[in-house]
A and B are shown apart, each in its own frame.
Chain A
Amino acid sequence: MARKIVVGDQEITIPTFNIGGLAILLLVVGAWFVLSAFYVVGPDEEGVVRRFGKWVRTEPSGLHFKFPYPIEKVDLPKVTQVQEISVGRILKEAKMLTGDENILLVEVRVQYKIKDAAQYLFNIRNVEETIKDATESALRQVIGSHPIDDPLTEKKAEIMDEIQVLLQEMLDHYKCGIDVRQVQLQDVNPPQEVDFAFKDVQSAKEEKEQLINEALGYQNDVIPKARGGAEKLIREAEAYYEERIKRAEGDASKFLSVLAEYRKAKNVTEKRLYLETMEQILPGIEKVILDEKAGNLLNVLPLGNLEGVKKTGVNK
C-alpha cells in the first residue's frame, strides 16, 4: 500500500511501512523488556528488589526475573564481602584517655560485612561514616573503662571482645544491617612524651629476671657441688671405717699368731724379736756407742752433727 500526495502538478508516491514500523517498535520494546527484566545476582551478592520504590523481595544468587524499569528496580549489594576500616592511624584519632586517667595511643581495625541487605540499603544514609564514628566512640568508651595496663598487656583480647560487643550493639540500634566480624587492636602504645618511661619499666622487668636467673645459676652451681662434697666426706668416712676394722683385725690376728709362737718358747722368741727389730732399725742411722765407764759423755758427742737430729731414741 502506498499513499499518493500531490505537490504542485506532480504526484509523489510515498511508500508506507506502518505494519513493519510497528513490528520494529514492538521488537525493540520486547527486547528492552526482556533485557531489563532478567538479571543475575552474583555469588557474593543479594538482589534487593523494589517495586515503585517499595521493597518487595530479596533474591539469592542466580538468574532472576523482575518487572522492567520503572516498575521494579534491583540493587546488588555484596553481602559476603568482608570490609575493613581502621581507626587511629592518625594521632588525633589514636589518642585517648584510659580508666586511670592515663593517655594511650590505640589503633583498631574493624572487619564487617552486610548481614541484612535491605536494612543496609534503606535505613541509614552514610553507613561507612556511621561505622567509623561508632567505632571511635566504642573504642574510647571501652579503653576509658580500663586501666592503662589492660590494653598494653594480657587483657587485649578481653578489650577487643568488649569493643566488638558494644559496637555491634550500637550498629544494631541504628538498624544498619551490619555484622561486626572482628575487632582487632593493632598498635597500642604510650604517647611519645612518656614512651621512655614505659621502655624503662620493660628493661627493669628484664633486669629483674636477669638478677633472678643469675641467682638461680649460682644455686644450680653451688648445691650440686655441696652435695658432691658431702658424698665425698661420707665415702671417705666409710673407707676409713672399713680400713680401721680391717687393719685392727689384721693386727690382731698377727699379734695372736706371734703370741702363739711366743708361748711355745718365751725367751728365745723375745730375744729374736728384739734383735730383729734392732737389725731393722740400726742399719740406716747414725750411731754413737759409748761406754759409760770411759768418762765424760760430752767428750764423745759429735756436737756439730746434732743440728739435724730430730728424735733421739735411747735404749732401755
Chain B
Amino acid sequence: MKSLVIVLIMAAVGLFLSAYTIDETEQGIIIEFGRPVDEPVIEAGLHFKMPWRQLVKFEKRILEYDVQPTAILSLDKKRLEVDNYARWRITDPLKFYRAVRTINGGLSRIDPIVYSEIRVELGKHNLTEIVDKRREKIMEVVTVEARKKLYEYGIDIIDVRIKRADLSQENEKAVFDRMIAERERQAKQYRSEGEEEALKIRAETDKEKTIILAEAYKESQEISGEGDARAVEIYAAAYKSDPDFYEFVRTLEAYKKVIDDKTTLILSINSELFDLMKGKK
C-alpha cells in the first residue's frame, strides 16, 4: 500500500517534470546537462521530455530593433542623420542559443551588421534616391545583406527601414535658403501675372469700348445721312414744281431767321415797303 502511494507520487512528479507547454508566442530547445539535444520545439502545445532535461524558451514573435540616429554621408556628400529600425525574429533557437542566448545578445549582433550595411549602401546613393521611392530598393538590399550575415546566429531580419533621414544643420540651412528663394520667385511671378492679367483685361476693355462707340457712330451717321437724303428728296420733289416761287418764299423765310431783335435795319425809303408812303404808284 505504502509503496503504491510512493510510486504514484513519483509518477506524478515525473509527469510534472517532463510535461511542458509551448505557447504560440514561444519556441524552445531541450538541454541535457548543458548540451542541446533533439530538434528545437517550434510547434505550440503540450510536450514531454525526459524529466532531467531542461527546457529553454525563446520568443517566436517578431521583435523590434531600434537605435539612436547615426550620421551617414550620401554619395553626393550630404550629411544625413539616419534613424532606422529593423524587425527580426529568432528562426533557429538552437543556433541562437549557441551564439547569443538572449534577446539583448541578439540585438548586440544585429546592431553592427545593420549599421555597417546601411552606411555602405546609403553611401552608394545620392540624397534624392535615399529620400524618394528608390529608398525601398536600397533598404531591400540592406535587408538582404543583413539577413545573410545574421543567418548563422539563428536570426532572420524581416526588414530594415529608415524612419527618419534628416539633413545635418548646415545642409538644412542651404535647403532653407533655396526654399526661400524658390518661394520668392513664385510670389514675384504671381504678382506680375496679376498685373499682366489686369492690364490685358483693361486694354481689352478699352478696345471693346472704342469699337462699340465707333460702330455706334458709324450706324448713327448712316441713319442720319439717310434721313438727310430722304429729306432733300422730299424738298426737291416739292420745290421743283415752281423754283421761282420757292426762291421767293425761301428768301422770306430766311429774313425771319436772319433778322432778330439785335439787328439794326437800315431801310431805304426807296424800298418796296415804302412805295406807298412816297406816293408812288
Partner-B contacts on A (CB < 8 A): 50-55, 70, 92-93, 95-99, 101-103, 118, 121-126, 129-130, 133-134, 136-137, 140-141, 144-145, 148, 170, 173-176, 190-191, 193-194, 197-198, 200-201, 203-205, 207-212, 214-216, 218-219, 222-223, 225-227, 229-231, 233-234, 236-238, 240-245, 247-249, 251-253, 255-256, 258-259, 262-263, 270, 273-275, 277-278, 280-282, 284-292, 301, 305-306, 308-316
Query: Is the beta-carbon distance between B212 and A223 smaller than 8 angstroms?
Result: yes
Query: Is the beta-carbon distance between B227 and A241 smaller than 8 angstroms?
Result: yes
Complex Cα spacing A130 to B86, Å: 10
Complex Cα spacing A190 to B246, Å: 93
Residues of B contacting A237 in the complex (Cβ-Cβ under 8 angstroms): 219-224, 227
Q: Is the interface of A mostly helix, strand, loop or mixed?
A: helix
Binary A-proximity of B220-257 (CB < 8 A = 1, otherwise 0): 11111011101111110111011001101100100110
Which A-chain residue is minimally distant from B177 (CB atoms)? A194
Query: Is the beta-carbon distance between A280 and B256 smaller than 8 angstroms?
Result: yes
Among residues 32 to 73 in chain B, which have CB atoms less than 8 Å away from a CB atom of chain A? 43-46, 59-64, 66
Which B-chain residue is minimally distant from A144 (CB atoms)? B131
Query: Is the beta-carbon distance between A277 and B44 smaller than 8 angstroms?
Result: no
Cβ contacts A to B, 25 pairs, < 8 Å: A51-B45, A53-B46, A95-B166, A103-B172, A137-B85, A137-B162, A144-B131, A170-B159, A193-B176, A204-B187, A204-B191, A209-B194, A211-B195, A212-B197, A212-B201, A226-B209, A234-B216, A242-B227, A251-B235, A259-B245, A277-B256, A284-B261, A289-B267, A313-B259, A315-B265
Tell me if B9 counts as interface (CB < 8 A to partner A): no
Residues of B contacting A130 in the complex (Cβ-Cβ under 8 angstroms): 62, 64, 87
Q: 7 shortest A-B CB distances, which residue pairs?
A: A208-B194, A230-B216, A241-B227, A237-B220, A252-B238, A53-B23, A197-B183
Complex Cα spacing A126 to B65, Å: 11
Residues of B contacting A216 in the complex (Cβ-Cβ under 8 angstroms): 201
Tell me if B111 counts as interface (CB < 8 A to partner A): no
Residues of A contacting B230 in the complex (Cβ-Cβ under 8 angstroms): 241, 244-245, 248
Q: A201-B187, A285-B264 are in contact. Are A240 and B224 (CB under 8 A)?
A: yes
Query: Is the beta-carbon distance between A136 and B158 smaller than 8 angstroms?
Result: no
Tell me if B198 counts as interface (CB < 8 A to partner A): yes
Choose among A207, A236, A292, A306 the residue that contacts B264 (Cβ–Cβ < 8 A). Answer: A306
Complex Cα spacing A240 to B162, Å: 87
Binary A-proximity of B147-160 (CB < 8 A = 1, otherwise 0): 00000000000110
Q: Which of B94-102, B116-124, B132-140 lies at the binding interface?
A: B132-140
Query: Is the beta-carbon distance between A123 and B61 smaller than 8 angstroms?
Result: yes
Tell me if B13 counts as interface (CB < 8 A to partner A): no
Choose among B167, B183, B199, B270 the residue that contacts A103 (Cβ–Cβ < 8 A). Answer: B167
Q: Is the interface of B mostly helix, strand, loop or mixed?
A: helix
Query: Is the beta-carbon distance between B165 and A97 smaller than 8 angstroms?
Result: yes
Query: Is the beta-carbon distance between B64 and A125 smaller than 8 angstroms?
Result: yes
Tell me if B26 counts as interface (CB < 8 A to partner A): yes
Which B-chain residue is minimally distant from A283 (CB atoms)? B261
Tell me if B202 counts as interface (CB < 8 A to partner A): yes
Q: A99-B128, A125-B62, A212-B194 are in contact. Are A311 and B234 (CB under 8 A)?
A: no
Number of A-B contacts (CB under 8 A): 351
B74 to chain A, nearest CB (A): 11
Complex Cα spacing A173 to B139, Å: 15
**Which of B183, B230, B232 gathers the greatest number of chain A CB atoms within 10 Å?**
B183
Tell me if B170 counts as interface (CB < 8 A to partner A): no
Complex Cα spacing A200 to B63, Å: 48
Which B-chain residue is minimally distant from A206 (CB atoms)? B190
Which A-chain residue is minimally distant from B250 (CB atoms)? A255
Q: A130-B62, A255-B246, A311-B260 are in contact. Are A211 and B194 (CB under 8 A)?
A: yes
Residues of B contacting A231 in the complex (Cβ-Cβ under 8 angstroms): 216
Residues of B contacting A55 in the complex (Cβ-Cβ under 8 angstroms): 24, 44
Query: Is the beta-carbon distance between A137 and B259 smaller than 8 angstroms?
Result: no
